[in-house]
Amino acid sequence: MLRRVVVYLEKGGVGKTMTSIHLADGLARMGKKVTLIDLDPQGQCTVRLGLVNKEKPKIRLSEVIRSGWPEGMSNKERFKNLVMYARPNLFLIPGSRDLTPIQFQLASTGDWEGSLQRALGFFEDSAMDYVIMDTNPSWTPLSAIALFWGTELVFPVETSSSAAYSISHFQDELVKVQERKEGELEVVYILPTRKKNTRESEGIVEDLKTAYPDKFCEPIRERTAMAECGGHGETIWEYQPNDDSAEDYMNFVKKVMSREVR
């Protein structure tokens, strides 16, 4: 069964892209078939996976959302035209600037609920295990369509007060989505990121753990290697596999794998 995981938080700079990449690559390393979908027009997943100079897919996601698939194209052809190979077991639908104007179309039609299902529903007919969706900061039509298609949600919460505060704002929006999805989307993982050895950081982690005992994930420690690896186009397991953050992210990957989808 295809698991559709959205990595989302309104605030920027909390580690959404790094979490998306490492969740996707970690699952792929564990033998799962994974597609990472970059719904951020900045296209940072492509950069951080070192795929900038690789040949891009022939068909862009924005085109499919806008116009649908060409008639008669098989699922396999769709896949080959839409994704690029990233790592063993890991494929990428890259983000690009042309996702920006799509937001205006989505905003004007209000057609959010079925957009990604129409574009990517064919994944459900494949042996793909996971799609991981990296979203852009703030509540936009792009993040909305991801939340409508997704069934599991990861909140990467930077261990600062402002990031934790933004959860409360997002929950208002989440309620709206859940009402329209009849409760399909769950907040499943609260993942503290960039944990420092400071009282502030540790206090917030502790508070999150207390408040969300069933959703809390062990934090990702802030390490220099984690900040550097994306710039080298590598994941932490390629760049510095013995780093603490590599261990932290793998623990998170295992937690996601162990969860039984309701």
State the virtual CA torsion across 92, 259, 165, 185 in degrees, nearest 10: 70
Q: Closest by alpha carbon to 142, among 98, 179, 80?
A: 98
196 binds other proteins (CB under 8 A): no
- State which of positions 21-40 bind other proteins (CB under 8 A): 33
Q: Which residues contact 198 (CB under 8 A, 6 or more apart)?
A: none
Q: In what order do the strands lie in the sheet with 84-87?
A: 84-87, 90-93, 34-38, 130-134, 3-7, 152-158, 186-193
Size of the site for other proteins (CB under 8 A): 69
Q: Among residues 42, 66, 137, 184, which is the contact residue for other proteins, using CB under 8 A?
A: 66
- State which of positions 118-157 bind other proteins (CB under 8 A): 118-119, 121-122, 124-128
164 binds other proteins (CB under 8 A): yes
Q: Which residues contact 36 (CB under 8 A, 6 or more apart)?
A: 20, 21, 24, 45, 49, 86, 90, 91, 92, 93, 131, 132, 134
* First vs last C-alpha separation in the chain: 11
Say which residue the tokens 């309104």 belong to.
10
CB of 250 to other proteins, least distance (A): 14
98 binds other proteins (CB under 8 A): no
79 binds other proteins (CB under 8 A): yes
207 binds other proteins (CB under 8 A): yes
CB of 158 to other proteins, least distance (A): 13
CB of 239 to other proteins, least distance (A): 6
CB of 127 to other proteins, least distance (A): 5
Q: Is 190 left (phi over 0), alpha (psi -120 to 50) or beta?
A: beta
83 binds other proteins (CB under 8 A): yes
Which residues of the chain form contacts with other proteins (CB under 8 A)?
Answer: 33, 54-55, 65-69, 73-80, 83-85, 87-89, 91, 109-111, 114-115, 118-119, 121-122, 124-128, 161-162, 164-165, 167-168, 171-172, 175, 178-180, 182-183, 199-200, 203-204, 206-208, 210-213, 234, 237-242
